[in-house]
Structure 1
Amino acid sequence: MLAGGSGTRLRPITHTSAKQLVPVANKPVLFYGLEAIAAAGITELGLVVGDTQAEIEAAVGDGSEFGLQVTYLRQEAPLGLAHAVLIAREFLGEEDFVMYLGDNFIVGGITDLVERFARERPAAQIMLTRVADPTQFGVAELDAEGRVIGLEEKPERPKSDLALVGVYLFGPAIHAAVAELKPSRRGELEITDAIAGLIEAGLRVDSSVIRGYWKDTGNVTDMLEVNRLLLESVEPGVAGRVDAASELVGRVVVEPDAVVERSRVVGPVIIGRGARIRDSYVGPFTSIGAGCAVVDSEIEYSIVLPRASIAGVGRIESSLIGHDVEVTPAPNTPRAHRLVLGDHSKVQISS
């Protein structure tokens, strides 16, 4: 499983947090992948990590919480998916393996895919999904039987609209293909080139087209969409305290030690452990992290990470708010805006 990468599309959040640990429905994206891997009957996991190793290792531990035995494999720089296979060579040995990108979210898991691979024994099996703009993805070309006959990485003129999803199954033949690779124009060892090497060697590469839901949670829009999907199926429950002056509508989860006072919460919503909602409105598809405070404010369709504070502001929507953030009103309407922003921030200012 890959949990490296710098998460540039989620900056500035990922300047201080691993992108795989940003939560949706108050649980890190990475954890959904770990659960899917364990559910497929896999027990040994090599977790490829980079600069955020300490943070990821603190969250995942030895993997026993997920029914896994985890070995951490350090990738010193993000040099491509095939490079991750290269550094995992000793760990993998001659075993078949699944490569799973830790920021992917797949409804339905991967159990059926793993069982099919074990039954049919191709050299590789990939997951595909139809996308509107295939120039942004690795793209597969299939024959009439659904076998892969060609692959291109972010092609200018795609031969299909079938993009590779971040889950791959390989037999040991992939190692020879990876060993032959040269860095691409991006300076990386591309897994698409390695799979193309299997095809050129006459080996069988199968595919499965996802019929359900898949997202690469690498940007804010997709994070919010996955959060929405997960909250759609949440079971309501109140373990914290909700006063008589508050109203909960629909599927609302209030976790232990959370307090809701003089507020209206319209689900689906999760209010995290120890959070405080006072004199506020929390609208649908919002996840409020542990220890947060929302006071005299309105928020909906948003993700608020632990210990953030929102006080005295108007309506907030479609937002991802980081750990320990403070959102407060400006003292006066400014004649000029004074900003302190992290690299790669995006700011919208009303005129």
Structure 2
Amino acid sequence: MNMIIPMAGLGKRLRPHTLSVPKPLLPIAGKPIVHRLVEDIAKVTPEKIDKIGFIIHPSFGKEVEESLIAIAREVGAEGKIYYQETALGISHALLFAKELFTGKVIVAFADTLFKAEFKLDTNKDGIIWVQRVDDPSQFGVVRLNDAGEIVEMVEKPSQPVSDLAIIGIYFFKDGAALAREMQYLIDNDIKDKGEYQFTSALQRLSNAGAKLMTGQVTEWLDCGNKNVTVQTNQRYLEFIKDQKLVSDKAKVINSVIIPPCYVGAGAVIENSVIGPYVSVGENTRISDSRIQNSILQKEGRVSKALLENSMFGNFAIFEGSSLDLSVGDFNTIA
């Protein structure tokens, strides 16, 4: 079984955090988003994952490529890198890894995480994971027949079709058949909303006789912008709160850590209260601060700070102000 992860997008909604780091490598509870994704899929897959193809933008660089190869190696797979320079839709992107579309295939988007309590049924023709949403117009959605089979897929419908949104994780028993349908779109220049849509290829696969079923996750976590990424960090810390999250190589001096929090090796926390739901990257130093529900990446410096719902990049430095105040009745300082 192979896995293909399209991740060539530049993550513009998460700038400035994605100016120097691709969005899928931003940390959630101490590990890159894509690392968490690969681990979580490997846990629910009953068969060995042989190869993982990462489709990236050429500008990501050698260090990113080496990180992705290492992520694949951790789950016992061979990592392979493919390049997509121009964004023309998911079907276009996936075909850069066409050689991996043989036999059973998993496709997973690198900006989504999930919580699930199931094992993947690899005997199905195909499985598309979905979640009910309040505003289907923002997502690709599926419509089911009375037998629970997917009969229609629509990308960001302007009129209500279904409230079952596709979360971006798929399984196919016959990867080659899917590749043929995606190639058909390219060869015949069939676009929807200006792109070679994946839902169009899936619809063709279904029309050709493949029985596509839905799979449901317990929780779907998005990483599309700063606020939802911080929220995802919170939820993920809750999922893994029984694990050891504070490194033995971190220093906690005259401070309180309110769990669940992740604290990386080499981090120093002094005269501060951290948590709940804070991730502190390796070698970041925090002093005289109160921080909750935030992500601080590696090698940062934060002092005299009162932070909530915040996200700091690598090597970021923030110093608040020491205030000597005399505040009268009914005053508000914000």
Task: Report the TM range for the smaller structure's normalisation.
Answer: 0.7 to 0.9
Within-5 A mapping of 1:188-199: 188-199=195-206
Q: Kindly report the root-mean-square deviation, in angstroms, between the aligned alpha carbons of the 2 structures.
A: 2.3
Residue equivalent to 1:322: 313
Within-5 A mapping of 1:16-27: 16-27=20-31
Moved over 4 A (4+): none
CA shift for structure 1 position 330: 5.8
Secondary structure, in 3 states, of the residue corresponding to 1:189? coil
Structure 2 length as normaliser, TM-score? 0.86
Residue equivalent to 2:218: 212
CA shift for structure 1 position 288: 0.8
CA shift for structure 1 position 106: 1.7
Structure 1 unaligned spans of 5+? 238-252, 333-349
Answering whether residue 50 of structure 2 is matched by residue 48 of structure 1, we say no
- Of residues 103, 115, 136, the one that matches 1:95 is 103
CA shift for structure 1 position 125: 2.5
Secondary structure, in 3 states, of the residue corresponding to 1:88? helix
Q: 1:32 to 1:254 in 2, by over 3 A?
A: closer
Answering whether residue 306 of structure 2 is matched by residue 302 of structure 1, we say no
CA shift for structure 1 position 290: 0.7
Q: Deviations over 1:6-56 (max 9, x none)?
A: 112211100111111111111111112222343422122222111325343
1:331 and 1:295 map into 2 onto residues whose CA distance is 12
Secondary structure, in 3 states, of the residue corresponding to 2:230? helix
1:156 and 1:236 map into 2 onto residues whose CA distance is 44
Residue equivalent to 1:60: 68
Answering whether residue 304 of structure 2 is matched by residue 312 of structure 1, we say yes
Secondary structure, in 3 states, of the residue corresponding to 2:257? strand
After TM superposition, the structure 1 stretch with the greater mean CA deviation from structure 2, 220-229 or 5-14, is: 220-229
Secondary structure, in 3 states, of the residue corresponding to 2:152? strand
2:215 and 2:243 map into 1 onto residues whose CA distance is 33
* Percent identity between the two aligned chains: 30
Residue equivalent to 1:30: 34
Residue equivalent to 2:327: none
Contact 2:11 2:18 in 1 (8 A): yes
2:217 and 2:76 map into 1 onto residues whose CA distance is 28
Contact 1:134 1:160 in 2 (8 A): yes
CA shift for structure 1 position 268: 1.2
Answering whether residue 172 of structure 2 is matched by residue 177 of structure 1, we say no
Contact 2:304 2:322 in 1 (8 A): no
CA shift for structure 1 position 166: 0.8
